[in-house]
Chains A and B, each alone.
Chain A
Amino acid sequence: MSRPEAGRLAERLRAACGDGPCVRLMEVCGTHTVALFRSGVRSLLPENLRLVSGPGCPVCVTSQGYIDAACGLAGRAGVTICTYGDMVRVPGRHGGLEQRRAEGADVLVVYSARDAVRHAAAHPDRQVVFLGVGFETTAPATAAAVLEAQARGLENFTVLSGHKLVIPAMEALLAAGDVPIDGFLCPGHVSIVIGAQAYAPIVRDHGKACVVAGFEPEQMLAGLVRLVEQVRAGRPRLENVYPVAVRDEGNPVALECMYRVFEPADAVWRAMGTIPASGLALRPEYAAWDALRRFDLRIGEDYDPPGCRCGEVIQGKAEPRDCGLFGSECTPRRPIGPCMVSSEGTCAAWYRYGGRVAAGSPAA
């Protein structure tokens, strides 16, 4: 079954772009980056519409200091690290968690924070540390896991929080002002939690178009059509083309759970530095489940591996093909930077779906 609606929307997008100046839109989220490639939507875009990837891949925005801290913890006796799969392969200063595991560290891939709690309950002799990364999509689940650990009286479960908030990163990018962006394609799944209204400040204070869209080709195309129409009309607005799933106010239950356990805190983003109130730290009441406190840890300096331009890629300042390592030294087989590691990473998506060929490739 093909999708005639997608064809019609692609036609409308071309008409909306017309032959005017180039429109630059940022897809904030890694899931959109991948879906745009995987569905072939990228190959349908007119030449004067540029999509740049934003800081929305959880693994990619995690600072190198966090990775190194996690690797350090993995080396300690009695510690089990529970993590989402992608984190295992991110290289640290002295190798990543994958290497630590090969050397004998106990590193377990889990699919949810709850599994880490269950693992802690089943292994009272181990200190189980869950690597909490991701945006408002995963943070409520981590919060729920902490509440569960509290309810069960588990003293061997902690969270190393690397959770981040989407809106402060978008605002920081705009405030820096060095990336020309006309509008944002806002991610459906984060928006289910934070609500469409969360983007209102981006429109109000920065005058940028924001459209919340789902991940089906038609949904993404519809979002792009609205964005381009807004930009061409010079009237940036907030629109939600994914109302089936995303409400204005989001999911109050998930938000309440998240903010019961976490509070906004300054956070270090890869290459973007410290962004005020852009991360989530455990509240003092939950200090017993905070790995930073339990292990007296400090997150070290952030840095890019030599030659790696992931930092610029996640800010939309560079495309993967601008990086000298892309597709040569840095491949999914042997990734140097996180954007090539994560399945949601921009470089991995370009490599896998767009090819190593630079300009002129069908999907580029």
Chain B
Amino acid sequence: MSGGAPISTADERIVLAHGGGGELTQRLVAERFLPKLGNALLSPLTDSAVMDLPAGRAAMTTDAYVVQPLEFPGGDIGRLAVCGTVNDLAVMGARPLALSLAMILEEGLELAVLDRIVDSIAAAAAEAGVVVATGDTKVVERRRGDGLMIATAGIGEMTGDVRQGPGRIRAGDVLLINGPIAEHGLAVMSAREGLRFETDLRSDVAPLNGLIAGLLACGADVRWMRDATRGGLAAVAADIAEASGLSVELDEAAIPMTRTARHASELLGLDPLLVANEGKVVVVVPDSDAAPALAAMRDHPLGRHAAIIGRVTEARPAVVELATRAGGRRLVQRPYGEELPRIC
């Protein structure tokens, strides 16, 4: 494409020159990013965004996003990046304020795909009430970039008297989750080349800061929170056991899961406890605060199916056990790596 032509026809793709720092780079930013993401911090395109922070403590986080396919039922890599960053701040009890966004584009990426993903970033940021304060783009050669990779950082304001930490977990505390598990991982897998199966599964990817703010405001003594992403509910339960030195007992019958997700897990031979979520938070509160915490979570649209799913016990050694639907018991362990569908 020549430097002077507008970069907007339907089948156009990212070329190396988009990352060259010249006119194409400038126009990529001006025509495709700023109209959707622009705000007082980002739009001047200064080398750093300069902002006022509320007095007090701040939380900062960073994360990188690679996912195939880039777009999947219920979300895409852009929504994932915004929500993942927001959620990492929110579970620390921070109010997310601003994000940075670095996008590594692969030569050949369709501009139409990029446009949809930027739209999705803008929508997710608006939903979460955060701004993209600063950004960067780079282009890598074909086959060296997986289409699009995103790195973010996020900054948030620590609010009120948040004292949560694994050291505050006590035997007798209960675990809550805000809704059905395993949907993100299964939705992404269902969209993957070669595994495509028809399902109405959608990723649960969502910003949890609103739900968490409501929970913290209800007055329940939140001992500890973590979003259950990679490694699923099992990894968070294992975190609790490891960090507190106490055991966790999960009640399979109480763990929310849709029938579709259950069937899809069975079909693929996956343990739903190990499958990733992107819009689920596990919360530990004292037994006496379980009812108000549950009510506060259910008050939020992302927590309508919130449930009490287990409790912390003194059993030694510190393990995670599942009381199964069938009336049996078994251990729950942190998964080794990516869960792969079984052979037969």
Q: Which residues of B contact A111 (CB under 8 A)?
A: 192, 194-195, 341
Contact status A115-B329, CB under 8 Å: no
B203 CB to nearest A CB, Å:
19
Is B239 an interface residue, CB under 8 A from the partner?
no
Report the bound CA distance from A352 to B321 in whole Å.
Answer: 11
Task: Say whether, besides A1-B253, A352-B333, A44 and B342 are in contact (CB < 8 Å).
Answer: no
Is A318 an interface residue, CB under 8 A from the partner?
no
Q: Which residues of B contact A85 (CB under 8 A)?
A: 340-341
Is B116 an interface residue, CB under 8 A from the partner?
no
Q: Which residues of B contact A7 (CB under 8 A)?
A: 326-327
B338 (CB) vs chain A CBs: closest residue = A85
Q: Which residues of B contact A197 (CB under 8 A)?
A: none
Q: Which residues of B contact A355 (CB under 8 A)?
A: 319, 331
Q: Which residues of A contact B341 (CB under 8 A)?
A: 85, 111
Is A156 an interface residue, CB under 8 A from the partner?
no
Count of A interface residues, CB-CB < 8 Å: 51
Q: Which residues of B contact A66 (CB under 8 A)?
A: none
Is A230 an interface residue, CB under 8 A from the partner?
no
CB within 8 Å of B: which A308-364 residues: 332-333, 342-344, 351-355, 362-363
Task: Say whether, besides A6-B325, A111-B194, A43 and B330 are in contact (CB < 8 Å).
Answer: yes
Question: Which of A1, A135, A353 makes the CB contact (< 8 A) with B344?
Answer: A135
Is B161 an interface residue, CB under 8 A from the partner?
no
Q: Which residues of A contact B327 (CB under 8 A)?
A: 2-3, 6-7, 10, 40, 44
B317 CB to nearest A CB, Å:
8
Is B324 an interface residue, CB under 8 A from the partner?
yes
Contact status A39-B328, CB under 8 Å: yes
Contact status A40-B340, CB under 8 Å: no
Q: Which residues of A contact B319 (CB under 8 A)?
A: 355
A5 CB to nearest B CB, Å:
9
B254 CB to nearest A CB, Å:
9
Count of B interface residues, CB-CB < 8 Å: 29
Q: Which residues of A contact B343 (CB under 8 A)?
A: 58-59, 84, 86, 133-134, 137-138, 342, 344
Report the bound CA distance from A294 to B323 in whole Å.
Answer: 52
Is B269 an interface residue, CB under 8 A from the partner?
yes
Interface string of A129-168 (1 = CB under 8 A from B): 0000111011000000000000000000000000000000
CB within 8 Å of A: which B304-344 residues: 319, 321-331, 333, 336, 339-344
Q: Which residues of B contact A109 (CB under 8 A)?
A: 340
Query: Chain B's interface: helix, strand, loop or mixed, by majority?
Result: loop
Report the bound CA distance from A253 to B266 in whole Å.
Answer: 24
Is A170 an interface residue, CB under 8 A from the partner?
no
A193 (CB) vs chain B CBs: closest residue = B344
A115 (CB) vs chain B CBs: closest residue = B194
Is A34 an interface residue, CB under 8 A from the partner?
yes
Question: Which of A31, A38, A43, A138 makes the CB contact (< 8 A) with B271?
Answer: A38
Q: Which residues of B contact A352 (CB under 8 A)?
A: 331, 333
Interface string of B190-227 (1 = CB under 8 A from A): 00111100000000000000000000000000000000
Contact status B344-A58, CB under 8 Å: yes
Contact status A344-B269, CB under 8 Å: yes
Contact status A110-B194, CB under 8 Å: yes
Contact status A43-B340, CB under 8 Å: no
Question: Which of B195, B330, B344 makes the CB contact (< 8 A) with A37?
Answer: B330
Contact status B336-A362, CB under 8 Å: no
B31 CB to nearest A CB, Å:
33
Contact status A34-B253, CB under 8 Å: no
Is A257 an interface residue, CB under 8 A from the partner?
no
Contact status A41-B328, CB under 8 Å: yes
Contact status B328-A112, CB under 8 Å: no
Contact status B266-A40, CB under 8 Å: no
Report the bound CA distance from A363 to B341 in whole Å.
Answer: 24
A340 (CB) vs chain B CBs: closest residue = B336
Report the bound CA distance from A352 to B194 in whole Å.
Answer: 28
Residues of A within 8 A of B (CB): 1-3, 6-7, 10, 31, 34, 37-44, 58-59, 84-86, 109-112, 114-115, 118, 133-135, 137-138, 189-190, 215, 217-218, 221, 332-333, 342-344, 351-355, 362-363
Residues of B within 8 A of A (CB): 192-195, 252-253, 266, 269, 271, 319, 321-331, 333, 336, 339-344
Q: Identify 20 residue pairs between A and B in the complex whose beta-carbon atoms are under 8 Å apart, listed by A's number.
A: A3-B325, A7-B326, A39-B328, A40-B330, A42-B328, A42-B330, A43-B328, A44-B328, A58-B344, A84-B343, A86-B340, A111-B192, A134-B343, A138-B344, A217-B326, A342-B343, A353-B333, A354-B330, A355-B319, A362-B321
Query: Nearest 4 pairs between A and B by C-beta?
Result: A40-B328, A40-B324, A85-B340, A217-B326
